[in-house]
Structure 1
């Protein structure tokens, strides 16, 4: 691969997801409280596989659109931007791409030292250099968003994720490219030991013989790694474009607010390329897409119904508990979807409601056993 390469459809959709998420993330962390006048002292965004800053067709790379959308955010006047408060760190290993990125940012935004935020463009390795750079910049003790977005091999050691997980109000996004789920004999076992925290944690995924199941096994394995690292919540999902190959993402956060913000970003991403976000747990259901499923008369997404059935297969629950499970355990579904799904399932006769009167979040439901 040369310095520049074409923008893949899945990457374009992923970029729209990032943009939507960051549009919400920045003001949450940076806006000064109107009541107290308090604002967080420092926020750091780390893009550890930054790339050259542009694609062959002229489309902006992640460092360019991240900086551009921050500087031109609708809430920028309330964010109190300053180089001491906001750090953007871009790491690129390849020399030519690093030089191209630096030139691209300078051409677009002028002298980087004159910007109202601190922009650090480093040539280095994501796995080896992320922690030292964050330490050098004094990022620890303040919110960090780490984006580990490699199209090829995921090679960031688990101890990097552990350090970020222990840091307050911090999150990570890791991307697996379509070629990552390869045959076991092609894998670097020593590298995977550092990524997953030991041989015992990943060999079962590598041994999965069914190609259609391999990506599910690896995503689940990596999600478990983020859990062990210390992230209380982890989302795993497959981004499927209308054309081209899919991407696989895992998101780690310590807060339900972070989960909600990421899922809201998914639902706001337009579907002009026909992309959808799929949950790895579903094997037969095809998601309708990003169109709000309950704006379509009589439509209830098959993926949602399958997931609720999977939850109820482990025992009955209140609608409220199902909603909490959808939030914390599924790729894109929110608590508000639980009640609508249960209503559809009651109508279909697939569940039993163990209460009289109106169906509410407090209603207890279970699968219909057919007895």
Structure 2
């Protein structure tokens, strides 16, 4: 691969997700409270596999659109941007791509030292250098968003994720490229030990013989690794473009607000240009796309019904408990979708609900 490469459909869809998520993330952390006047003194975004800043067809890379959308955010006047409060760190290993990224950022934004935020473009290796750079910048003790978008290989040690997870109000996004699950045999077992936290954690995934299940097992294994690292909530999802191969993402956060912001971002971009997000737990159910498509018809999405069924197989639950499970354990679904699913399942005779009255969040349901 040269300095620049073609923007794949799945990458374009992923970028739209990042843009929507960051549009929500920045104000949550940066806007000064009108009641108390308090604002967090520092926020750091780390793009650990930054790339050259542009694609072959002139589409902007993640460092360019991240900085551009921050500076042009509709709430920028309330964010009190300053180089002391906001740090953007872009790491690129390849020398030519690093140089290209610096040139792209400078051409679009002017001298980086003159911007209202601190921009650091470093040449380095994500797994080896991320913690040291964050320490150098004094990022610890304040919110960090780490984006580990490696495309081809997931090789960031779990120690990096553990440090971010245990840092206040911090989150991480990791991307698995479409070929990772078929070429993981080429990876050094010692690297896998570092990424997953030990051979005992990843060996069962490596032993999975069914090709259709292998990627699910690896994704579940990585999600478990983020849980052990200390992220209170972990989402795993498959991004399916209209054309081309899918991508797989795992998101870790300790904040319910972060969880809701990520899911809200998914709904805002789901269905655009034929893309969709799917939950890896489902086998055969196809996500409908935008929420309005099935809300208008009054029907629940097949994926949603399958997931609620999976939850109820573990035992009876109130609608409220099903909704909380949907929020914390599934890729796309919100608590409000539980009641919709349960109504349809009762109409179809798939569940048991005591009494014949109106369904509420307190209603107990079972298979």
TM-score range normalised by the length of the shorter chain: over 0.9
Deviates more, 1:201-210 or 1:284-293: 284-293
CA-CA distance at 1:272 after TM superposition: 3.2
What does 1:5-44 align with in structure 2 at a 5 Å threshold?
5-44=5-44
Equivalents in 1 of 2:267, 2:363: separation in Å?
A: 27
- Residues 228-256 of structure 1: CA distance to partner in whole angstroms, max 9, x if unpaired? 00001100000000100000000000011
CA-CA distance at 1:88 after TM superposition: 0.1
What does 1:68-147 align with in structure 2 at a 5 Å threshold?
68-147=68-147
- Residues 132-170 of structure 1: CA distance to partner in whole angstroms, max 9, x if unpaired? 000000000000000000111100000000000010000
CA-CA distance at 1:23 after TM superposition: 0.1
Equivalents in 1 of 2:184, 2:115: separation in Å?
A: 47
Does residue 195 (structure 1) correspond to residue 161 (structure 2)? The answer is no
Equivalents in 1 of 2:185, 2:342: separation in Å?
A: 45
Residue segments in structure 1 that go unaligned for 5+ positions in a row: none
Equivalents in 2 of 1:26, 1:217: separation in Å?
A: 33
CA-CA distance at 1:270 after TM superposition: 5.2
- Residues 258-286 of structure 1: CA distance to partner in whole angstroms, max 9, x if unpaired? 11110000000153321111101100211
- Residues 57-93 of structure 1: CA distance to partner in whole angstroms, max 9, x if unpaired? 0000000000000000000000000000000000000
3-state DSSP of counterpart to 1:300: coil
CA-CA distance at 1:289 after TM superposition: 1.4
Report the equivalent of 1:315: 315
Report the equivalent of 1:177: 177
Equivalents in 1 of 2:68, 2:5: separation in Å?
A: 21
The answer to whether the 8 Å contact 1:86/1:118 transfers is yes
Equivalents in 2 of 1:129, 1:290: separation in Å?
A: 39
Equivalents in 2 of 1:350, 1:89: separation in Å?
A: 51
Equivalents in 2 of 1:147, 1:278: separation in Å?
A: 20
3-state DSSP of counterpart to 1:178: coil
CA-CA distance at 1:355 after TM superposition: 3.8
The answer to whether the 8 Å contact 2:91/2:126 transfers is yes
Report the equivalent of 1:360: 360
Deviates more, 1:358-367 or 1:288-297: 288-297
Equivalents in 2 of 1:185, 1:157: separation in Å?
A: 18
Equivalents in 2 of 1:355, 1:160: separation in Å?
A: 52
What does 1:222-261 align with in structure 2 at a 5 Å threshold?
222-261=222-261
Equivalents in 2 of 1:262, 1:129: separation in Å?
A: 27
3-state DSSP of counterpart to 2:234: strand
Equivalents in 1 of 2:189, 2:354: separation in Å?
A: 51
- CA shift in 2, pair 1:293/1:353, >3 Å: farther
CA-CA distance at 1:185 after TM superposition: 3.5
Equivalents in 2 of 1:15, 1:207: separation in Å?
A: 33
The answer to whether the 8 Å contact 2:270/2:289 transfers is no
Normalising by structure 2, we get a TM-score of 0.98
Report the equivalent of 1:346: 346
Equivalents in 2 of 1:185, 1:331: separation in Å?
A: 27
CA-CA distance at 1:358 after TM superposition: 1.1
CA-CA distance at 1:55 after TM superposition: 0.2
The answer to whether the 8 Å contact 1:153/1:177 transfers is yes
3-state DSSP of counterpart to 1:173: strand
Residue segments in structure 2 that go unaligned for 5+ positions in a row: none
